[in-house]
Amino acid sequence: MNKRKSKYGFGKIKRGNLKLFGAFLGAAFLFLLLTKLSQDYTEEVSLNVELSNLEDELVIVNDSLPKVKVMVKSKGFSLLKYMFNDSETITIDVQSEMFKKNKSLFWDAKNKKYKLNTLLGKSVEILDIKPDTIEFKYDMLASKKVPVVLNKKVVFSDGFDIVNNFKLSQDSIKVIGSKQIIDTIDSVETKLFQLENINKDISKSITLVSVKDVEFMPKNLYLEAKVRRFTEGEFTLPVELINIPTGKIVNIFPKEVDLIFYVDIENFKNVKPEDFRLVSDFNDVKNDSQSTLNIQIAKKSDLVKRTRLLQNNLEFIIAN
């Protein structure tokens, strides 16, 4: 029994020594760290500049945003946070801290070290600022109305189509931004609107393709379309020869041609032959050897979506 107790007691002493050694090691590391952090170091800090109290009619040109670097010196304790994030943000009042010249705003950073000291800390010594004068180029805010271009890819179900045309909630929008940019914008496109197998009315919100540093009013539009089942109809119609010279008799063949029209089923019965007029113009005769003329659809029903002729020209003979 005494022998076993002796072994157990030795194990306790050994583990105690390890804990004591670990405590001394931790204390030594902490002492070394405190010693290092109490020494002076230099560090480069990136400065992000934000502007406040900027006039409504001014807009900062993005490609002019300055990159500011500040070289500082301080104890390691003060600079410890920059090991994880080497940037700071400073807010500058345009009205009270900056001056204008040649469409630029300037901030004299070299003579505003007190503001930087307030930001970075009183214990931090500022060694250098690059650039020492910070410049922001600006432009006057401008606006104008431009047309909207609908970018779409819509596939209808068999037998279905759109009545009339796609309709946007408005055909133009207001664009607002730097005059330099606004002058280059002639139109604004919608993002691709894509649908398949459509057999019912369309009513969707649609977004616009953004332009950098430009604001749209409104930002979104609505697209509507009336969709119906369509069918084809056919009329045999007379062809009228117009602008015949006085005293001439001209015979034409054929005197009638077939016209195919495409219309939604709801309006099929409302389309009448008298809604159409087919003509050939004798003024289109260019020389004595010509014997044919084109047939033109001079009038068509407002109800039909499209039309086509089964014969597009006729022959003529001058009788005298």
Question: Averaged over 160-183, what is the pLDDT?
Answer: 92
For the chain, the structural domain boundaries read 40-138, 141-229, 231-318
CA distance 225 to 56: 39
**What phi-psi label fits residue 111: left (phi over 0), alpha (psi between -120 and 50 degrees) or beta?**
alpha
Mean pLDDT of the chain: 83
Q: Tell whether the model's pLDDT for residue 140 goes beyond 90.
A: no
Query: Which residue from 184, 104, 182 is spatially nearest to 142, judged by alpha carbons?
Result: 182
Q: What is the mean pLDDT of residues 48-69?
A: 76
| pLDDT one-digit tens code per residue, 295-320 | 999 999 999 999 999 999 999 988 76
- Backbone phi, psi, residue 275, to 5°: -75, -5
Q: DSSP for 4-18? A: HHHHHHHHHHHHHHH
Neighbours of 90 (CB within 10 A): 19
Question: What's the fold here for domain 40-138?
Answer: RNA Polymerase Alpha Subunit; Chain A, domain 2 (2.170.120)
Q: 78 burial class (0-12, 13-18, 19+ CB within 10 angstroms)?
A: buried
Lowest mean pLDDT among 24-28, 228-232, 249-253, 260-264: 24-28
Pairing of strands 188-189, 133-149: parallel
Q: Among the ranges 13-22, 67-76, 213-222, which has the highest mean pLDDT value? A: 213-222
Please determine whether the domains at 40-138 and 231-318 fall in the same fold group of CATH: yes
- Tell me yes or no: is domain 231-318 CATH 1.10.240.10: no
10-19, 45-54, 236-245: lowest mean pLDDT where?
10-19
Confidence of residue 243 (pLDDT cuts 50, 70, 90): very high
Is residue 94's pLDDT more than 70?
Answer: yes
Torsion sign (Cα): 113, 117, 123, 127: negative
DSSP β-bridge partners for residue 203: 224
Task: Give the span between the Cα atoms of 157 and 241, in whole angstroms.
Answer: 41
- Decide yes or no: CATH 2.40.37.10 for domain 141-229: no
With a cut of 60, say whether residue 229 has pLDDT above it: yes
The percent of residues above 90 in pLDDT, for the chain, comes to 45
- CA-nearest of 208, 271, 276 to 239 is 276
What is the number of other CB atoms lying within 10 angstroms of the CB of residue 235?
18
3-state DSSP call for residue 26? helix
